[in-house]
Structure 1
Amino acid sequence: MTKPLTLGYSTCPNDTFLFHALAHARVDRRGLDFDIRLADVERLNQAAEGGELDVTKLSFAAVGHLRERYALLRSGAALGRGCGPLLISRPGFDPSRLGRVPIAVPGMRTTAAMLLGLYLSRTPACAPMTFDKIMPAVSRGEYEAGVIIHEGRFTFRNHGLAELVDLGRWWEDETGLPIPLGGIAVRRDLGPEVARRVEVAIRDSVAHAFAHPADSAEYIRAHAQEMADDVVRQHIALYVNDFTLDLGEEGVAAVAELFRRGHAAGLLPDSREPLLAGDVGVS
């Protein structure tokens, strides 16, 4: 290919860890060049809605809205157990008021916002903002509750906040499945051959990260400057696992169930497009 593929992923440690080898040509790129764009996941969700990215990390909720344009790759996902978003508030908040107050969320197309709607069995009143602003906003009393993601799981108590609901645990109890948070999507119009090469290159990058975890330390630190080293390690351990290498049958089932429930609740549109790029001829 002569034109580089635009590749979007977040600045979070799990993404910089798994994409480091691909970004720095430590693995075979399968004849592809990449124009890498790093951004907050909700910004990536929005960019994909505008068709700006060829390959990108997306919240699974965003994938559910964009299935006509994007197909899911098996490698690079954030999916697992004990890693879901948390619904938090200041101590003393009455949970019965959740349906009557605006709740801060890390973007309207995030899986976190969608899980909140599934938990409440209604479309909640949401106040979207970047994920790093949620805990300070709730701590200051600007919002009575918020849904936090990423390293917020490890730091919310530092802001004097309390956990109301672990939405990931709620999902696991409801479904018996791991919680699908975000995955890598590829534009369908690139065709199955390009999608296959991208998928293999990402899988090789994940495998390299597992085999050489220290290689990416400088890259991770460059994009996580305000995050303590122990939080970085916990973050990677929580969100990078065997599902990141390959979704497998259980991972695919979890994504399909999220989409089924989202559609049934009126939170996602229906789609007849195959979920996986591999279902249209990509192995």
Structure 2
Amino acid sequence: MFRFALSWAIFAVQLCGYFALNGSIAALFYSGATPETAEWKCQPAVGRSFPAKAGTAWEAALWWPPAEALAKALWPEWAAQHCRRGRHPDAPALALLNLAQICLFAAATCDAALLGHTPMLMAWGQEGGSWAAWGGWLAAAYAWENVAEWVWHRVMHFPWLYRNVHHLHHFNKSPEPFDDMLIHPVEAVGYYIILYSPAFLFPMHVSVFLAYMAIMGVTGVLDHCGAVLGLPLSLYDTRHHDHHHELVDVNFGFPSAAIDVLCGTFHGECCGRRILAKRHVY
């Protein structure tokens, strides 16, 4: 009973955390904004929706995929006038489907760990349960995800896969809150396998995995929020992935730019240096 309850609690935390973070970004940056005045926006000239202006509370609520999907299903004509303009017609449904998938991955990983089907350590006193090991395994999980995701993302840009699968995610040239879940479900499953794989590969403490997932979850949302956010010296910068949506053939890594810098696919500023990748046409 405890295992069942904890797994579904993890499902709920993942779900609520996603909505809370995206909703906070929408309220903080997009409420009352226009493309011309949004100096904080990665691509101010490409702002396509900005519905949450003063006096339009219903339009603000329609940022949320459940509300948007319900409105389009029950009142299609009204939704066509009030929902975010320029959105992919299947965006709300895909967002909900992919969000359900990632939450189920979270619950399944929790269940596997409780059953002892992962090498994760549950007690701090076990071998590897030290602060040095904590930092080392966090770095290992982070590095593994960056490399594996870069490879997966490059594969998604092979011509056939790009046209038939990954092109859906590139419908948005200038991402905004909740746009990160506009992904083909098959591609999403592949990414979620990579995302959760450290739990099954590394004998790290469970707290390391939770910290790793927090980093991945937050940066995944921030990379698609459309606002300029980051760390000093562009060690992390939301503009890096925004450049990928704008230019298509650069910055395949997530969330670090290091793998792109090493592989010659980085475009932008990193560690105080301006780097321009060789462009390819798909």
Q: What is the TM-score of this pair, normalised by structure 1?
A: 0.25
- Higher RCO, Cα 8 Å, sep 6+: 1
User: Structure 1 or 2: larger helix share?
Assistant: 2
Q: What is the TM-score of this pair, normalised by structure 2?
A: 0.25
User: Structure 1 or 2: larger strand share?
Assistant: 1
Please say which structure displays the higher CA radius of gyration.
Answer: 2
